[in-house]
Amino acid sequence: MVKDGAAHLRGLRDARTIFIDGRRVADVTTDPAFAGAVASAASLYDLQAEDPEGMTFDLGDGTRTGLAWMLPRNHAELVKRRVAMERIAARSCGMMGRSPDHVASTFVGFMAGRHAYDSRGGAALSSYFEAARRADHWIGYVIINPQADKSRQAKDQPGGDLVARIVDEDAGGITIRGAKMLATAGVMANELMVSGIVALMPGDEPYAFTAVMPLATKGIKLLSRRSYEAAVTSVFDYPLSARFDENDAVVFFEDVKIPWDRVFVHRDLRMMQAQWHETRAHVMQNYQCIVRLSVKLRFLLGLAHRIAETNGILGFPQTRETLGLLAAKASSIEAMVVAMEAQGEDFHGVFVPDRRLLVSAQVLAQTIYPEFIEAIRGLSGGGLVMVPSSAADFDGGEVERIIQASQRSPVAGSEDRVKLMKLAWDAVGSEFGSRHLQYEMFYSGPQFAIRGNSYRFHDWTGPKAMVQGFMDSYGLDRAPAKAAAE
């Protein structure tokens, strides 16, 4: 039995609390702010049900679950898992960043480093992992604190309930209160993990916890940002916004009680860092991100090429130079995926991608994406806005005749030209496209933090030894002191 889209939709019709535009959402699967993206989310599970061999694996008793939950034992299994993740990403042209394979990958990384946990936390993690993958849960996560005053620790922020913290605990579990920033795709997930990735200081113990709970748990409140999907005039006008607006929401925990068997880290400052970096959670979750990005860049590359063809500029050397540069950038990310797999390591029985190459890809991704967007805008010129106001202008009459007269291309009819330019605008310029730029620049952390990881995880021994070796091969050509005196 494989979880399919219908099963996922059934699971979302629960008591979850989501607020948007001054109202509470009754049913996220039908609400006009979310229904299109939720349908796309469900289709990811249909993809698994349609091709269980290619997208799922057997847990040993006939239960099949998404390949992202697999603890790969060797290079071949890692690659098989990656191919499934590529197919998930391709469904949304790489536009759904927090698809179910993302946090599943985090948990695979936690499990690879299971030894880093204390015995209670490790046991809770293992039993949750088994249950979550058996249910093929979609898990969202919040691991960053709300912006306020970055110069102060969480405990020193004025106003009390800003950052989620433990406010009570008893034999049953912990109770948390406060906020976390941005659960992407939280509205369409089954469960939510809350944790922290920014280093904590002594005194921050109430903020040092990692736990997971169903989205519908009493007291969890999601405050959605504006829905881009709700604002679209038609799929033709906003083909990406209409279907792949995965949503971002601030999460407020209002005295949320979490049982101990769902608490993996408890008041442990060291473990809050160790859970990411002494395990392979940081590697596995960001490997999924880079795999997804490689699919997205392939899509954007195709878009850039098609725009050039449509505008009759493909034959110009300057255009080919631009496209050649974009192709090389997309290929470099693709190549890094292959390389980090080829140089993967056995980490306590789990075969994981090479960490140094993974963080290098993250660093490059943060600059390549904005460069892609700028280049596509540059290739497009005013064509991105030289489009009819909406699909309604194709009225079969006077306005459509003018559209046919004014929307021309050497390779496309007027409808196809408008269709392409509207797609391109949605990818790079609409509110949806603009959010994607922000996403790719920030989802894994600010640049200084990602570059800091690159510094930290690079093995400097080889480069330093090479310089020293070369410098040792020569010196000042001093004449012997005695000869100089004579």
Ligand X SMILES: Cc1cc2nc3c(=O)[nH]c(=O)nc-3n(C[C@H](O)[C@H](O)[C@H](O)COP(=O)(O)OP(=O)(O)OC[C@H]3O[C@@H](n4cnc5c(N)ncnc54)[C@H](O)[C@@H]3O)c2cc1C
Q: Under rule CB under 6 A, how many of the chain's residues touch ligand X?
A: 20
Neighbour tally for 184: CB within 10 Å: 20
Near ligand X by CB under 6 A, which window of 28-36, 397-405, 424-432, 444-452?
A: 444-452
Determine the residue type at 302: G
Burial of 433-468, coded b for 16+ CB within 10 Å and e otherwise, reads: bebbbebbeebbbeeeebeebbeebeeeeeeeeeee
Footprint (CB under 6 A) of ligand X, residues 247-276 = 248
**Residue at shortest CB range from ligand X:** 184
C-alpha to C-alpha distance for 470 and 155, rounded to whole angstroms: 51
Single residue of 92, 184, 210, 227 touching ligand X by CB under 6 A? 184
Token output for 163: 């950052």
Does 215 participate in binding ligand X (rule CB under 6 A)? Answer: no
Q: Where are the alpha helices (DSSP H) in 113-210?
A: 119-135
Q: Is 184 marked within a binding site? A: yes
Task: Give whichever of 149 and 374 is closer to ligand X, judged by the CB atom.
Answer: 149
C-alpha to C-alpha distance for 304 and 318, rounded to whole angstroms: 14
First-last CA distance in the chain: 95
Does 439 participate in binding ligand X (rule CB under 6 A)? Answer: yes
175 in Cβ contact with 141 (< 8 Å): no
C-alpha to C-alpha distance for 313 and 262, rounded to whole angstroms: 57
DSSP 163: B
Near ligand X by CB under 6 A, which window of 41-49, 76-84, 287-295, 436-444?
A: 436-444
Does 296 participate in binding ligand X (rule CB under 6 A)? Answer: no
Footprint (CB under 6 A) of ligand X, residues 18-77 = none
Single residue of 22, 62, 119, 150 touching ligand X by CB under 6 A? 150
Single residue of 22, 26, 60, 147 touching ligand X by CB under 6 A? 147
Task: Give whichever of 108 and 142 is closer to ligand X, judged by the CB atom.
Answer: 142
Q: Is 156 exposed, middle or buried (0-12, 13-18, 19+ CB in 10 A)?
A: exposed
Q: Could you tell me the smallest distance in angstroms from the CB atom of residue 191 to ligand X?
A: 13
Single residue of 152, 446, 464, 465 touching ligand X by CB under 6 A? 446
Near ligand X by CB under 6 A, which window of 179-187, 213-221, 340-348, 405-413?
A: 179-187
Single residue of 234, 343, 367, 438 touching ligand X by CB under 6 A? 438
Does 298 participate in binding ligand X (rule CB under 6 A)? Answer: no
Which residues are registered as beta bridge partners of 214?
191
Query: Which residues are near ligand X by CB under 6 A?
Result: 98, 141-144, 147, 150, 181-184, 248, 435, 438-439, 442-443, 445-446, 448
